[in-house]
């Protein structure tokens, strides 16, 4: 898989996490990973970096004519 594909999936996972936290007060990633602090930190960092990557790609996208 390409880095772009991983990045998109992490953005989707991050959006689901925020949605579950806001509506249902459920920590989806914490529940899935069993509350292992080291893994949670890595996953949250990857989600944040993916969001930055996606925002950069969106803002620098040059449309073809």
On the 0-12 / 13-18 / 19+ scale of CB atoms within 10 A, 62 is exposed
Q: pLDDT tens for residues 2-26? A: 888 888 999 999 999 999 999 999 9
Q: pLDDT tens for residues 15-58? A: 999 999 999 999 989 999 887 899 999 999 999 999 999 899 88
Write down the pLDDT at residue 34.
Answer: 86
CA distance 48 to 42: 10
């Amino acid at each position: 898989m390409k880095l772009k594909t991983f990045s998109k999936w992490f953005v989707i996972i991050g959006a689901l996490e925020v949605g579950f936290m806001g509506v249902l007060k459920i920590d989806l990633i914490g529940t899935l990973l069993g509350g292992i602090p080291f893994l949670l930190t890595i996953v949250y960092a990857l989600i944040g970096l993916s969001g930055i990557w996606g925002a950069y790609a969106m803002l620098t996208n040059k449309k073809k004519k």
